[in-house]
Amino acid sequence: MAGGTDQSQTTATRLVTSGRSNDPHVVNPPVYRASTHLYDDCAALREAPKSNRDGQFFYGRRGSPTQWALSDALTEIEPGAHGTVLYPSGVAAIAGALLSVVGPGDVLLVCDNAYDPSRHIATGLLKRMGVEARFFDPLDLDGFAGLFCERTRAVLLENPGSLTMEVCDVPALAAIAKDHQACVLIDNTWAGPLGFAAFAHGCDISIQALTKHVGGHSDLMMGSVSAASQGLYAKLRHVSQELGQVVSPDDAALALRGLRTMGVRLDRCTASALKIAHWLDQRPEVAHVLCPMLPGAPGHELWKRDFTGGCGLFSFVLKGGDDAARCRLIDALELFGIGYSWGGFESLATPVGIDGSRTATRWPKPEWDESDRFAIRLSIGLEEPDDLIADLERGFAAVARA
Ligand SMILES: *Cc1c(COP(=O)(O)O)cnc(C)c1O
């Protein structure tokens, strides 16, 4: 619990001051590599569950001071958050959050451009539990409003949407959901709390894959869910404990270390991504740059209105061509790695595979030339952007040579 949050501090400063050690002579909280907490006597052992509160060290699975330091820090940097629960991965965070708010007979509305594993949770695990998932076009407010029924319990948003980067009108969608007493969850991994204040824009639950920006160094898997109210926080915590979920204290310490530099890393990645997006936008081989930070790109106006920051992740669509040309381009890159995940210090490039995973929207977009359908996703890291541009130039040259 972020009891000591000084609201006069800016978030940038809270990235540095939050989740510190309780010992005034040590900067970082110690890594409690411990399952067991020892009690002085039987009376103390029996007393502990009665006074067991968040933030206390009761038993390893409930969290040691290392994990509490991280969840406190995440709560302190998320404006309006009541508390934060940690999960062993981003997907575990999404599953844990959904399991906390829907049950048999309920309807869950999911934005059509949700991260693929999120779709699979909805159409797999939740379906088997008797939850009905309905997918919606996040850019169609009327269509969204028309989907609600008596049983609609929750809405899962992602902004911008995975791979295709559509920016949706979160306050408008959340207002419609509120009219129907539905809980609004958002996968806020792209912008994180520095770039998008989820609770101020009407969301009730904000989810992050800490694997990405918070870890920042491609060396850990973790997720978090922050809740705007005590009631929702208690539900999240209850379900995560029922499922026996805990993160390792070593990983929590790594995530806390990543958090300290997240602001400067994001600033750098955002500036580099924008420079590269501008460059791609001028290339004759590129049909569309799907980067909401880029003026004129789809979603830019909403991004400007609602976001206070960006990151290094965006996609672009090649003009014509085929999958082989796209792969030739990616394979010719020397600085960009080819691999999943993003938000690390190193740049990555992957072919975007959407085929078959959208049900409420069309891809490629109906208004595009039909031959423009092969997209590449870039995660821009901390390298010099001009070197990355030279690398992409190498990629385009490899396509031209073929
Ligand atoms: C990567 C990702 C996740 C899942 O995170 P993991 O830690 O890999 O499970 C969730 N949402 C989005 C948008 C992601 O890109």
User: How many CA atoms are closer than 13 Å to the CA of 398, on its beta-carbon side?
Assistant: 17
Find out whether the beta carbon of 299 lies less than 6 Å from any atom of ligand 1: no
Lowest pLDDT segment from 54-63, 110-119, 286-295, 322-331: 54-63
Report the atom number in ligand 1 closest to the C-alpha of 92.
9
β-strand 313-318 against 375-379: which pairing, if any?
A: antiparallel
Question: Taking a C-beta distance cutoff of 8 angstroms, is the pair 19, 69 a contact?
Answer: yes
112 is a catalytic site residue: no
What are the residues facing 136 on neighbouring strands? 111
Q: Which member of 33, 61, 151, 304 is catalytic? A: 61
Q: What is the pLDDT of residues 313-356, one digit of tens each?
A: 999 999 999 999 999 999 999 999 999 999 999 999 999 988 77
* pLDDT beyond 50 at 80: yes
61 is a catalytic site residue: yes
pLDDT greater at residue 54 or residue 243: 243
Which domains can be identified in the chain, with CATH numbers? 11-258 (3.40.640.10), 262-401 (3.90.1150.10)
- Cα 395 from chain centre: 29
Predicted pLDDT at 5? 54
Average pLDDT value for residue range 132-150: 98
Predicted pLDDT at 2? 41
Predicted pLDDT at 158? 98
Residue found by looking up tokens 């169609």 in the block: 140
* pLDDT beyond 70 at 52: no
Percentage of the chain surpassing pLDDT 90? Answer: 88
Predicted pLDDT at 3? 41
Q: How far is the CA of 116 from the centre of ligand 1 (A)?
A: 9
* pLDDT beyond 60 at 138: yes
* CA–CA distance, 198 with 188 (Å, rounded to integer): 7
Residue 94 pLDDT level (bands cut at 50, 70, 90): very high
* pLDDT beyond 80 at 51: no
Residue 7 pLDDT level (bands cut at 50, 70, 90): low
Predicted pLDDT at 108? 98
Lowest pLDDT segment from 60-64, 107-111, 182-186, 348-352: 60-64
Predicted pLDDT at 377? 98
Helix (H) or strand (E) holding 351: strand 348-351
40: exposed, middle or buried (Cβ count in 10 Å: 0-12, 13-18, 19+): exposed
Residue 129 pLDDT level (bands cut at 50, 70, 90): very high
Question: Taking a C-beta distance cutoff of 8 angstroms, is the pair 284, 397 a contact?
Answer: no
Predicted pLDDT at 17? 92
Question: Mutual orientation of helices 116-123 and 90-101 as an angle, nearest 10°?
Answer: 40
* CA–CA distance, 338 with 242 (Å, rounded to integer): 37
Find out whether the beta carbon of 218 lies less than 6 Å from any atom of ligand 1: no
Question: Taking a C-beta distance cutoff of 8 angstroms, is the pair 192, 214 a contact?
Answer: yes
Nearest protein CA to atom 8 of ligand 1, as residue: 90
Cα-based torsion angle of the residue sequence 395, 397, 398, 402 in order, rounded to the nearest 10 degrees: 150
Residue 291 pLDDT level (bands cut at 50, 70, 90): very high
Ligand 1 pocket mutation pick from 163, 185, 188, 189 by most atoms within 8 angstroms of CB: 189
| Residue 284 preceded by cis peptide, ω within 30 | no
* pLDDT beyond 50 at 1: no
What tokens does 12 get? Answer: 């940038």
Q: How far is the CA of 362 from the centre of ligand 1 (A)?
A: 23
Find out whether the beta carbon of 270 lies less than 6 Å from any atom of ligand 1: no
244: exposed, middle or buried (Cβ count in 10 Å: 0-12, 13-18, 19+): exposed
Residue 4 pLDDT level (bands cut at 50, 70, 90): very low
Mean pLDDT of the chain: 95
Predicted pLDDT at 146? 98
Q: How far is the CA of 160 from the centre of ligand 1 (A)?
A: 13
Q: Which member of 106, 112, 187, 391 is catalytic? A: 187
187 is a catalytic site residue: yes
Report the atom number in ligand 1 closest to the C-alpha of 341.
1
Predicted pLDDT at 363? 86
Find out whether the beta carbon of 87 lies less than 6 Å from any atom of ligand 1: no
Residue 169 pLDDT level (bands cut at 50, 70, 90): very high
